[in-house]
Structure 1
Amino acid sequence: MSDDHDEDFVGCETWDQMTVWLADSLPEIPPGVTIDFGPKDMRIDDEPLDAETFDDPLEALCAQIVVLRHGRYLVRRSHVVMEATSYVDHDASAATPDLWFGEDPTSDCTDGAIYVDDARLAAEICVTWLVSESGEASPDAFGFDVSEALPLPGLPDAGSPWTIEDFLRRLGH
């Protein structure tokens, strides 16, 4: 979680509301954006989470949704803090959807990942993981961090109408 937005708490009163908020928001978010969920009271410096920084990975219940091209999402689940990684391409059309896989090139995804082509399913996988592993009655204990996709310098900006503020506004911030 970051200090950039103090209001970046989940803000939903129920897990069902969180699922609806995510499912409704995901189709509007451009490829390359990563949404990380974890304990709202956890603050991590902008330092990379690698072996030189920490002897052991920071333990925390986390989920991550990476918005890919063509309406595909990568949902990652972990018991350690995951980094917002930079992928070579955000086109995962060659990946098999709806198939869990355990190989993780970054070793920060401890409990599997899946490519899905349905925003509702991506939201349900993320929220169900947090509910089942935390045992919390509501998402009050969770926050999120959004890593924006930035256009390459010197190239025309596609002019995406989506902003983080739009995402927060959906929560009533």
Structure 2
Amino acid sequence: MNDDYEEDFVGCGTWDQMTAWLADSLPEIPVGVTIDFGPRDFAVDEDSLTDDFDEPLDAVCAQIVALEHGRLLVRRSHVVMEASSFVHHDASAATPNHWFTEDPTSDCTDGAIYVDDPALAADICVTWLATESGEPTPADFGFDLSEAEHLPGISASGGQWTIDDFLRRLGH
């Protein structure tokens, strides 16, 4: 997954533990952070994402994007998804708890949903990975975080969150 954190893996023994860990962690994740879940041993480098592929890279993946006001965007796919860059992170006008099957980025093959409940977001994400992979535990899954960057000359608001905070929640 991420070269800087090669040992990033879900680290939970059961799918239920992963759901609980994720539900507890999501409220603390700052706006703009994207969490990508996929096969632990599946390495995708920047060059392979920018190459012109006739076919997308197959893998059961899920993605959660932290939006403003506690809203979360959960995306599900059978292909590798890129971290999305949105114009803004205010999705208050979006309809929550409604599946969207259309995808403007074409890398989200199995729909997306906006949710306001971290437990529901975690359940959607983990259930997708468990069901579609057929794996008995999440041991073969890893994650990658894309942290939001602050614009130059504008001070960061809120607490200073780091990937280490997220990893501590896993016991790393």
Task: Please confirm whether the aligned pair reaches a TM-score higher than 0.5, indicating the same fold.
Answer: yes
Alignment correspondent of 2:62:
63
CA distance in 1, matches of 2:129, 2:155: 39
SS at match of 2:25: helix
Q: Say if 2:114 is the partner of 1:120.
A: no
Q: 1:13-162, aligned counterparts within 5 Å?
A: 13-47=13-47, 49=49, 52-162=51-161
SS at match of 1:124: helix
Higher helix share: 2
Tell me the TM-score normalised to structure 2 length.
0.96
Count of matched residue pairs: 172
How far is 1:47 from its partner? 3.4
Percent identical pairs in the alignment equals 73
SS at match of 2:124: helix
Residues 67 and 74 of structure 1 are in contact (CA less than 8 Å); yes or no, is this contact kept in structure 2?
A: yes
Where does structure 2 lack aligned partners over 5 or more consecutive residues? none
CA distance in 2, matches of 1:47, 1:160: 34
Amino acid at match of 1:75: V
Residues 49 and 57 of structure 1 are in contact (CA less than 8 Å); yes or no, is this contact kept in structure 2?
A: no
Render the CA deviation track for 1:112-157: whole Å, top value 9, x for unaligned.
0000000000000000000111111100010000000111111112
CA distance in 1, matches of 2:90, 2:54: 34
Alignment correspondent of 1:164:
163
- Structure 1 vs Structure 2 CA RMSD: 1.2
Where does structure 1 lack aligned partners over 5 or more consecutive residues? none
How far is 1:167 from its partner? 0.4
